Amino acid sequence: MGLSTIDVCVISSYPPVSCGVAEYCHNLLEHLRKIINLKVVLYPIEPQNFSYKEQVGFRIKKEKEVSYKTAGEKIAKSNCKLVILQHQFLLYGKEGCFTRCLLEPINKPILAIIHTVPVEPTLKEREAILAIREKASLSVVMIHHAHKLLLTHYDFPPEKVEVIFHPFPFLPKLDNQKAKKKLGLPTDFTVLTTFGLLRREKGIEDVIEALAELREEKVLYLIVGGVHPAHLSKEGDRYLKDLREKAKKLGVEDRIKWCTQYIEEKDLGLYLSATDFYIAPYLSTQQVSSGTLTYALGMGKIVISTPFPFAKEMLGEGRGVLVNYHSPKEIAQNVKRLMYNKKERERMEKEIVRFSKSIAWPKAAEKFKDLILKIL
């Protein structure tokens, strides 16, 4: 089985679409191909027609229910031996409402990778997760907390759920000072960074307030990433304007460096190399994955984060710092404490490097390979 070619249908957003799920899916396929023979047919979920490197089976038009149903029917008639489904609610209509109509016609083994598992789902969200429970041969989640939720809140059979931590890719790493110079940042400043698509749940306003608490320190905040497409469709760039207005009101606009476009993975290494502390101030208490946090750990960076479930597992055992939700003062206090405590920074960085080796993409791909062969 390991040597023969496996025909796979992949349902996901996919580059050049700019989102974390698309990057995740791309990395998964690239690393799997190094260790297993795959023939991939892509069923991309897209807002418009894009060009893809992969063979396309059918383009799923986002927000059009009939398109999801048609995709499911085409997959059922295809020659594929396995379906890989990347599931995040926003990709499948409002609150995942098109998940069931997509899955219902499919009569193939399904490996579902579930990016979001809510503790208190809406009726539509619950229906989407239950549709996966009914149709998927195996589901993968990214933390043990999400595994427990699927078993206790959604009645998944234990043998049908696996945990594979969100992997990180190997990004080019530069010397911290050289990276700062390359980006035009002052080398004598401590650089805080948050990257990823901007959305209100990101909590960036709390870090801007923390900057006001750090007014006397040499601290710069790097905000990297464009506005999330879901926000753009609903309110345009209102959130970005609100953030800029807050910074101006607090008098810290000169302490923020904005890079408000989507940064491709290959360029993230430069920004993270220039980073001293990565800040993950998410407001959601139900966040069960964060590729950005994982990328920061993969680059050996100390992370200061709110205690959402994913962060609690990834930053446990002294690998990072957790602060309460909506706590700019706590963010500021911990930034200042770490700035002046080299011994603690070195201890934490040592733990981060040790842990990050276990969650790199090559390791994750081996686990996915084993699951695929198990399903087949």
**Is 338 in contact with 349 (CB distance < 8 Å)?**
no
Mean pLDDT of 37-54: 93
**Is 103 in contact with 131 (CB distance < 8 Å)?**
yes
Question: Same domain, yes or no, for 19 and 152?
Answer: yes
Q: What is the CATH number of the domain that holds 146?
A: 3.40.50.2000
**H-state helical runs in the chain:** 20-32, 65-77, 99-103, 123-135, 144-152, 176-182, 204-213, 229-235, 238-250, 265-273, 291-298, 309-314, 328-339, 342-356, 361-375
pLDDT of the residue at 67:
97
Residues 10 and 83: their CA atoms lie apart, in Å, by 6
Neighbours of 374 (CB within 10 A): 11
Instruction: Write out pLDDT tens, residues 347-365.
Output: 999 999 999 888 899 999 9
Residues 318 and 349: their CA atoms lie apart, in Å, by 9
Question: Same domain, yes or no, for 180 and 316?
Answer: yes
Mean pLDDT of 286-307: 89
Mean pLDDT of 123-150: 96
Mean pLDDT of 65-76: 97
Cα angle: 94, vertex 95, 101; to 5 degrees: 80
Residue 34 lies in a domain: yes
**Is 48 in contact with 16 (CB distance < 8 Å)?**
no
Residues 19 and 226: their CA atoms lie apart, in Å, by 10
**Is 293 in contact with 311 (CB distance < 8 Å)?**
yes
Q: Residue with structure tokens 């890719």?
A: 169
String of DSSP letters for 91-114 = GGSGGGTTHHHHHTT--S-EEEEE
Neighbours of 240 (CB within 10 A): 18
Question: Same domain, yes or no, for 193 and 107?
Answer: no
Q: DSSP assignment, residue 359? A: G
Domain that holds residue 339: 176-358
Q: Confidence band (pLDDT; 50, 70, 90) for 229? A: low
Residues 270 and 327: their CA atoms lie apart, in Å, by 29
Question: Same domain, yes or no, for 106 and 197?
Answer: no
Question: Same domain, yes or no, for 208 and 229?
Answer: yes
**Is 19 in contact with 93 (CB distance < 8 Å)?**
no
pLDDT of the residue at 231:
59
pLDDT of the residue at 2:
45
Cα angle: 224, vertex 226, 230; to 5 degrees: 135
Q: Confidence band (pLDDT; 50, 70, 90) for 1? A: very low
**Is 47 in contact with 74 (CB distance < 8 Å)?**
no
Question: Same domain, yes or no, for 11 and 153?
Answer: yes
Q: Confidence band (pLDDT; 50, 70, 90) for 141? A: very high
Question: Same domain, yes or no, for 229 and 247?
Answer: yes
Residue 187 lies in a domain: yes
Overall pTM surpassing 0.75 (yes/no): yes
pLDDT of the residue at 213:
97
| Residue 66 burial (C-beta neighbours within 10 Å; 0-12, 13-18, 19+) | exposed
Residue 256 lies in a domain: yes
Residues 370 and 359: their CA atoms lie apart, in Å, by 16
**Is 125 in contact with 118 (CB distance < 8 Å)?**
yes
Residue 324 lies in a domain: yes
> What average pLDDT does the structure give for the chain?
93
User: Lowest mean pLDDT: which of 181-185, 212-216, 238-242, 302-306?
Assistant: 238-242
Q: Which helix (H) or strand (E) holds 39?
A: strand 38-46
Question: Same domain, yes or no, for 216 and 281?
Answer: yes
Instruction: Write out pLDDT tens, residues 245-296.
Output: 999 999 999 999 999 877 777 788 999 999 999 999 999 887 777 888 999 9
Residue 25 lies in a domain: yes
Mean pLDDT of 57-64: 94
Residue 253, amino acid: E
**Is 195 in contact with 268 (CB distance < 8 Å)?**
yes
pLDDT of the residue at 200:
85
Our count of domains for the chain comes to 2
pLDDT of 219 strictly over 60: yes
pLDDT of 126 strictly over 70: yes
Question: Same domain, yes or no, for 196 and 336?
Answer: yes
Residues 298 and 156: their CA atoms lie apart, in Å, by 31
Question: Same domain, yes or no, for 225 and 305?
Answer: yes
Residue 1 lies in a domain: no
- Give which of 282, 119, 120, 308 is closest to 200, Cα–Cα: 282
Q: Confidence band (pLDDT; 50, 70, 90) for 227? A: confident
String of DSSP letters for 45-86 = EESS----SSEES--EETT-HHHHHHHHHHHHHS--SEEEEE
pLDDT of the residue at 282:
93
Residues 368 and 13: their CA atoms lie apart, in Å, by 19
